[in-house]
Amino acid sequence: MLAFDAAAGAVDYVRVTPGSRVGTVSVRARATSETTTEAEITYRLTALSSEGNRKLEEMTPEGYDAMLRRWEAAIGAAAGSRRG
């Protein structure tokens, strides 16, 4: 973790996929209501190999949108399981 500010809803961390890519991820979250949160995620990634280049090339708007939908579903399922 590079930086964390809970009050501001901000975290920056290093992300490493060995032999593939490395970079930073910045997350900024803010409540939009009592039950919803909006998040802005910024990636700054560098490939470490040809496989890493291929993975970064796959980060098209469509591929990224699909990844976000999977994340949203996984986060919602995890959050729902904790509501008791």
Residues 6+ apart with CB under 8 A from 83: none
Dump pLDDT digits (tens) for 45-54. 999 999 999 9
pTM for this model (two decimals) = 0.71
pLDDT value of residue 59? 85
Helices (H), the chain: 50-57, 61-82
Give me the mean pLDDT over the 15-41 stretch.
95
